[in-house]
Amino acid sequence: MELGRFGVWTSALDRQPAAVVRSAVGRIESLGFGALWVGESYRREIFANSSLLLAASDKMVVGSGIASIWARDAQAMRAGQLTLDEAYQGRFLLGLGVSHVPLVNPRGHAYDRPYSAMRAYLDAMDQAQYDAPMPLEPPLRVLAALGPRMLELAAARADGAHPYFVPVEHTQAARAILGPGKLLCPEQAVVLEPDPGAARAIARRHTSAYLRLPNYRHNLERMGFGSDELEGGGSDRLVDAVVGWGDVGQVAARAREHLQAGADHVAIQVIAADPAEAPLAEWEALAHELGLDPRERPR
């Protein structure tokens, strides 16, 4: 699987009709990004959406960031992964996660002991029957791992980790736990705005949502942030650690810091002033600054 060093993580395409999505995916691929990452929560169903994105691209990897283990049983998850991986010649990367209490309990589940739940789910996936054509190569899976135990599980039972909402220091710690040979694909949120006040205001629209979720709060506290820094959308120190902002050169430099800290691939999420619009101009600027090789799509 050729992920490349940089990819796009976005939820903006979920706000667009499928015809617009197809056009945007073609543009993202033509800019040279190696992967396109999308989430799930209350938006498009992850496997149906991934099929749409894979069909709209030629060589780019599509990663689920993440598919919740509470949204479908292990057999359905394995079948979805194998179906897409076989159909699109190994271009689908399954990211699995335990999600969060507010997204799980309303579905009728009881969110409890996420580590044990993930371990049991992986056991069930590995034992699931699948009577259809298999991919040529074993498909890959990564875990949405934040804490040490989940990272250890990612090293033992998966092909790596896809941490989300983390500073660069987390990437360094994650690599130490994963060891060599495992994929480490952190998400990095960025705001292309050089003014500190304006940039942090945009960033806090993003951070305020995630700082309501215990998993992210606990991870940041584990990394040395005080509980008072998690309030009001986050302190300046926290916002600056989790969201890279500045001109395009500064933002690209933040993404490269993850590579220097041990990441194999960085999924860059542009946080735009208008979340309803796909940030095409920002993706183009970043692709140029990162030195990506533009791809000419077959006609």
Establish if 297 belongs to a structural domain: no
Establish if 235 belongs to a structural domain: no
Establish if 42 belongs to a structural domain: yes
Integer Cα distance of 49 and 56 in angstroms: 11
Establish if 234 belongs to a structural domain: no
Establish if 146 belongs to a structural domain: yes
Establish if 75 belongs to a structural domain: yes
Task: Summarize the confidence of residues 254-265 as an average pLDDT.
Answer: 99
Establish if 294 belongs to a structural domain: no
pTM, two decimal places: 0.95
Q: Which residue has the higher pLDDT, 174 or 100?
A: 174
Integer Cα distance of 258 and 209 in angstroms: 23
CATH classification of the domain holding 161: 3.20.20.30
The total of other beta-carbon atoms located within 10 Å of residue 126's CB is 10
Integer Cα distance of 51 and 58 in angstroms: 12
Domain count, the chain: 1
Weakest-pLDDT range from 106-115, 144-153, 192-201, 282-291: 106-115
Establish if 169 belongs to a structural domain: yes
Q: Which tens digit of pLDDT belongs to each residue from 21-44?
A: 999 999 999 999 999 999 998 889
pLDDT at 299 over 50: no
Question: Is beta strand 67-68 parallel, antiparallel or unpaired with respect to 92-97?
Answer: parallel
**127: domain range?**
6-193+248-289
**pLDDT category, 298, cuts 50, 70, 90?**
very low
CA atoms lying within 13 Å on the CB side of residue 162: 29
Percent of the chain with pLDDT over 90: 91
Integer Cα distance of 56 and 64 in angstroms: 16
SS3 141: strand
